[in-house]
Structure 1
Amino acid sequence: MGTNSQSAIVQTEDDARAPAACIVSVKGLKENWQKWSSEHQEYQKHNPFSHDTRQSTAVHERGRDDYGKPLQGSLTERRGKDAHTHISREVLELCEAIRSIGEPREKAGAGSGSNEKVITVEFGKLFEHYVSISNKLVGILLRARKQRLVDFEGEMLWQGKDDHVVITLLQ
């Protein structure tokens, strides 16, 4: 019984000062909150999904250079640039794979005296080789065709059905 009643909490001078250092002023909290609130209100003016009924300062008009593009310097713009860089790298990697496994042939439509050669590969052979590199071969092929780096017949290539479709490396 004597141990509980006799034990006293001894507070040193250092312990007494410690909580005072952790106290944050109400004025500082209020200023931080007000700053965040003002920034958020300004952001909401530009947010098309906001229920803010005030007139937006950023008017989106068709035909302008920035129409349909993210705000300059935004995280969305950064992500888009990173994605574009990544896809470009994959397209170049695909072209290198075609170069390495493809066979040189005379360019279709070239005259008999022409020595123009292009590298071609069948889709099935490319698919078997490229499956260990990436699982997005058809999408990358479509992107490369859009950039006029490769050419093939048809809108879409299907494994098995289009294995004999010839893919031509143009550049």
Structure 2
Amino acid sequence: MGTNSQSSGILKSDEDVPAAAQLKDDTAGSIVSVRGLKENWQKWSHEHQEYQRTNPFNNSTRPSVVVPQRGQDDYGRPLQGSMTDQRGKDAHTHISREVQELCEVIRDIGEPRDKDVDGKMAVEFGKLFEHYVSISNKVVGVLLRARKQRLVDFEGEMLWQGKDDHVVITLLQ
């Protein structure tokens, strides 16, 4: 029996690794040592542990991120700078563009509401639906959003094709 690490069955470094213990990496065509595999595994493990610290669904650790409590300004909103925050901003921009486009269509195909001074444009829902459906199939949703922003006004909570074709939609601005 010898006293070196090979005879005791414990490998301490790459120099102690026999050629048979080194693996051939088919993709790169190079020899991969046990040390390289160990380092890659430790790197992945460390990255995974860091990720789990911020994962809100992980029950084993407490998140290091400060979570807003009910009543604070940021409660119910994504973290500033997160991808969720960016997607929300992009969606808001997209919907705003659709609302503006709807208002332009109402200006183009609408008729003056009354002979009064303000010159508000109005159009029936059926006519707007037929014209706007070729632009977007979300005409009712965009109308509801425009009414929430006080850009248009119409009677009722929801508009239905066929049933509400004669409801007048007024452009307020």
Give the TM-score normalised by the residue count of structure 1. 0.74
Q: Which residue of 1 aligns with 2:81?
A: 73
Amino acid at match of 1:94: L
- Secondary structure in 1 aligned to 2:94? helix
Structure 2 match to 1:169: 171
Cα 1:20/1:106, change in 2 over 3 Å: closer
Letter in 2 for 1:55: R
Structure 2 match to 1:85: 93
* Distance apart, 1:27 and its partner CA: 4.1
Give the superposition deviation at 1:44: 2.3
Task: Give the superposition deviation at 1:26.
Answer: 4.4
Q: Distance in 1 between matches of 2:44 and 2:28?
A: 26
Q: 2:159 matched to which residue of 1?
A: 157
Residue by residue over 1:70-100, the C-alpha shift from the partner in whole angstroms, topping out at 9 and shown as x without a partner, is 2333222222222111111111111111111
Report the CA distance between 1:115 and its aligned residue. Answer: 1.1
In structure 1, list runs of 5 or more residues that go unmatched.
1-18, 108-113
How big is the shift at 1:28? 4.5
1:105 to 97, 100, 113: 113
Alignment partner, residue 55 of structure 1: 62
Letter paired with 1:22: S
Match of 2:137 in 1: 135
Shift in alpha-carbon separation, 1:136–1:35, aligned structure 2, 3 A: same
Contact 2:154 2:169 in 1 (8 A): yes
The 3 A distance-change label for structure 1 pair 35 and 74 is: farther
- Name the amino acid aligned to 2:140: V
Deviation at 1:140? 0.6
- 1:143/1:26 Cα in 2 relative to 1: closer, same or farther (>3 Å)? farther
| 2:128 aligned residue (126, 129, 139) | 126
Label 1:39 to 1:62 Cα distance change in 2 as closer, same or farther (>3 A): farther
State the identity %. Answer: 76
Number of aligned residues: 147
Which protein, 1 or 2, shows the higher relative CO under an 8 Å CA cutoff with sep ≥ 6? 1
The offset of 1:163, in angstroms, is 0.6
Whichever residue aligns with residue 115 of structure 1, its letter is: V
Q: Give per-residue Cα distances to partners, 1:125-144, cap 9 Å, x unaligned.
A: 00010111111000011111
Q: 1:21: how far off? A: 6.7
